Amino acid sequence: MLYAILCYHSEDLVNTWSKEQDDAVLARLKAVRMKLTEEGRMGPAARLMGTTAAVTLRKGREHVVVDGPFAETKEQLLGFYVVECRDLQHAIETAREMARANDTGGAYEIRPLRVYHPPALAAGAGAPAGQSTLSSMGRAQ
């Protein structure tokens, strides 16, 4: 099953890191990503741009676009990984491995993931109903 591992941290704190500090954290995380890739478990991953580049669409009678992230929080969503795991415990162990590589604080939120494909893609997806795998996303395992 696919799991999203959402990366939360204080954007203000991360922005104070020197290029060397940031590069060191990214190098340690790259080692984890490469291991997951070799195991055929690594899906898409992204580092999000800063919240100052974000806009939010507030839903209601009239939809309103506002500057900034969706909520006032101490930690912001900075990025995410999509990882193939046997079960929740396996996903937690994977997140722990990432946490050891990036021991600067913050949090990893772990959620089961469903991938929705356009009808033409879904017909060949091959995953059981309600489940997705990396191969059903069009990636070889």
pLDDT in tens, 24-38: 999 999 999 999 999
Name the least confident of 22-31, 56-65, 104-113, 119-128: 119-128
- The verdict on residue 20 lying in a domain is yes
User: Over pLDDT 90: what percentage of the chain?
Assistant: 59
- The verdict on residue 93 lying in a domain is yes
- The verdict on residue 54 lying in a domain is no
pTM value is 0.79
Dist. CA 72–CA 39, nearest whole Å: 38
**74 against 6, higher pLDDT:** 6
CB atoms within 10 A of CB 8: 18
Average pLDDT, the chain: 85
Q: Is 48 helix (H, G, I), strand (E, B) or coil?
A: coil
Query: What pLDDT was estimated at residue 100?
Result: 94
Query: What pLDDT was estimated at residue 54?
Result: 87
Write out the residue range of the structural domain in which residue 92 sits. Answer: 2-48+80-137
Give the CATH number for residue 111: 3.30.70.1060
Dist. CA 86–CA 18, nearest whole Å: 37
pLDDT tens per residue across span 70-116 = 655 778 999 999 999 999 999 999 999 999 999 899 999 999 998 87
Rounded mean pLDDT, 37-60: 90
Number of domains in the chain: 1
- Tokens coding 88: 């929740």
